[in-house]
A and B are shown apart, each in its own frame.
Chain A
Amino acid sequence: MKVAVNEGHDVRNFVRTLVMEKGYEKAELIPFLHEINGEFGYISDIAIQELSDRMNIPTSHIYSVATFYRMLSTEPRGRHVIQFCESAPCHVAGGRLVWQKLQEVLGLKNGETNEDEKWSLLTTSCLGVCGVGPVLVIDHDIYGNVTPEQIPDILSHYE
């Protein structure tokens, strides 16, 4: 994976600060991975190496944890991450058609990121807002009662 020199520097500093502030207990690993994922959009090899050095945990262990949890990514993601709820209540409420439309408009399948790195399309487990399904989340914005017709309009709000 190609990473700009500066970016690697940023990730290392970020990890160092985290460990310095919160300590290197193994129990902090998942919270740290959350922070890194939130800041950089994904957990890079550099971040894993730095965590390993600072926390004294093998990289293999960190990698196994980072890939176990669905909300953590070890692959770079687009500037905006779309998460579509794929669970039964949303499915029953017409989610299938919304999902088809999303894939069609973006030209992406589940888990893919487009070439200009604007969008990543993912499915998510139940978000617990089943009263307003189908539901999709873009970055931190939640959209409920989504219809296929609304998709282009919703997407147009993001640069």
Chain B
Amino acid sequence: MAYFRSHVLVSVDPKCIEKGAFELMGALQDELVKQGLVDEVEVLETSRIGDPETSGPDMIVYPEGVHYTNLSLEDVPFLVEEQFIKGRVAAQYAREIKEVVDEELSAPQEKELRIVLENIGTVIPLNVEEYIGHDGYMALGKVLTEMTPEEVIQEVLDSGLRGRGGAGFPTGLKWRFLRNAEGDQKFMICNADEGDPGAFANRRVLEGYPHSVVEGMIIGAYATGAEQGYVYCRAEYPIAVKTIRTAIEQARDMGLLGENILGSGFSFNLEVRMGAGAFVCGEETALMASIEGLRGEPRPRPPFPAQKGLWGQPSNINNVETFSIIPQIILKGAEWFAGLGYKKSTGTKTFSMAGDVKNTGLIEVPFGITLREIIYDVGGGIKDGKDFKAVQTGGPMGGCLPEAYLDLPMDYEALDQAGSILGSGGLVVMDEGTCMVDIARFFMEFTQEESCGKCTPCRIGTRRLLEILTRICEGKGKPEDIPLLRNLCEQINEASLCGLGKGAPNPVKSTLEHFLNEYEAHIYEKRCPAKVCKSLIRFEIIDGLCTGCTLCARNCPVDAISGERRGLHVIDPDICIQCGICEQLCPYDAIEIK
């Protein structure tokens, strides 16, 4: 095979063709022949690489990765001379490389280890050739030609991979259950219903590296004997839905999906199903009900999906991230993966960091890292030099952990023992200015709203919890509320049907355990230590700092502030609605919250 030192990829999407992409390729080829470079430089066609509306024709020269745009035929001789003979970039045609700030996914920090997120943002998601160039679909080839289904399952088992959706059940074991189950048809389902507020790792994987999910699913189907698969994606992610749909079509066109894949005799079909805005559909049995065209309500387990799942047939559900890791495990081996991580939690995990931390966004770290390392080393510490108060892990059904837990090595078991969950990998960092009772109330508002209403403990229990928490925040809490909350938490956790109900009390339970003093301050002293709960705070103007500029009085929406120009102003507590506008506006910091 000829060895080329350079490859030129010319974009041949319809717009670029209109602008003369083929003519450009011809001119390039002619010039290369003329210069005697035709054995050294190869010209290839590729799909869209730039924005053809504003530029084009576009081409990229590898290995340098220079992106040329707005090219005309006359430019070709000069370009060939500069780029391939003199070996320098013809800067006047090179596309200005704009520093695109990715607010969700920045360059990896020192303590990160990226496996799932490695190629996101650097490869073109829907350029299947580029995926293949990154060893894509090589694992599938290996599996179909060299491994039996049982060997694949054993490899995944040996890797120690556990469900990245949060429950942490060993993936290989789940696959074995499905393989051994008896049924007319088996289903392989990808849970892309990432509903936890603040978690968006799955969305980035679907949008940024969709073929890794498709490949993982095909491998899973081969291992388990499933012939039909579904990606259930939430409708709030329109771009992810579109991207994964296109990726599936591309795979089908290349013979990687459908009948007799790669001539192996194995067949697998994949379809995308969209949610319609129901958080509970992230629960596996509710998700299957939704695919069937029903209300997304969970059903009791057992029977587990591996016995009776979608349409009563044996089914298996894994998370986006789980599927995305599979090809890498097959290629690099179970040992490599099992060597990463900590104790029974192997590999890496993505986290979506939000809240009062300096660097918010997506990170990926090996298990065993401590929360302190995540928050301070990767996250850059707390914003505005404030003190850390708590971190909530695992989304709205996770617990809030105080400072004492920061040195805990992160894994499924450690978080479970600490009264929280790993969940989808959401991390909400809270500083000293957060009221923990208010936070518990906020999360209860969410679960109460999202409770599907099928089982009583969750439907009514979360409602009662919310009422009690609201009353405490309003300064109407009673001493017996604390034992009542504890009791309700216990009951809801024990008696609810699915994970949503079982996890719903976690924020309340954990704040009661670690921040009981704040509950007591609200109930006994009618005081909100963090000065957040409106009914328990007063705004006062400090004599000596107030210059009488009248700014606060002019902006008060209820005219609660009075005073002469250049004289001390006063807030009437009976009229004040604690909106906080005056405090934000005051240029002299003369307004104090008490």
Residues of A near any B CB (own CB < 8 A): 25-31, 33-34, 64-65, 68-72, 87-89, 91-92, 124-132, 140
Contact = CB atoms under 8 A, between A and B. Distances in A.
A125 B277 contact: yes
Given A65-B295, A71-B277, 7 more contacts: A30-B293, A89-B354, A89-B355, A126-B196, A128-B194, A129-B104, A131-B103
Instruction: Give the interface centre of B197, B279, B396, B446 by most chain A CB atoms within 10 Å.
Output: B197
Interface in B184-209: 194-200, 203
A130 B201 CA distance: 11
B443 interface: yes
Contacts of A70: 276-278
Contacts of A29: 293
Interface residues of B, number: 42
A99 B292 CA distance: 36
Instruction: Give the interface centre of B103, B236, B443 by most chain A CB atoms within 10 Å.
Output: B236
Given A87-B446, A131-B104, A125 B276 contact: no
Contacts of A130: 197-198, 200, 352, 354, 360
A92 B276 contact: no
A128 B200 contact: yes
A127 to B, nearest CB: 5
B556 interface: no
B198 A125 contact: no
Contacts of A30: 273-274, 276, 290, 293
B197 A87 contact: yes
Interface of B: 103-104, 194-200, 203, 235-238, 273-279, 290-297, 352, 354-356, 360-361, 396, 428, 442-443, 446, 450, 452
B443 A88 contact: yes
A69 B354 contact: no
Contact of B278 (A27, A64, A68, A88): A68
Given A30-B274, A69-B277, A124-B277, A89 B293 contact: no
16 contacts: A27-B293, A30-B293, A31-B274, A33-B276, A34-B276, A69-B278, A69-B296, A88-B446, A89-B355, A92-B355, A125-B197, A125-B279, A126-B236, A130-B200, A130-B354, A131-B360
A72 B452 CA distance: 15
A70 B280 CA distance: 11
A36 to B, nearest CB: 12
Nearest to A100: B579
A141 to B, nearest CB: 12
Contact of B428 (A31, A65, A89): A89
Given A88-B442, A88-B443, A34 B235 contact: yes
Nearest to A61: B294
A69 B275 CA distance: 8
B236 A65 contact: no
A127 B450 CA distance: 15
Contacts of A87: 197-198, 446
Given A70-B278, A72-B276, A65 B361 contact: no
Nearest to A88: B197
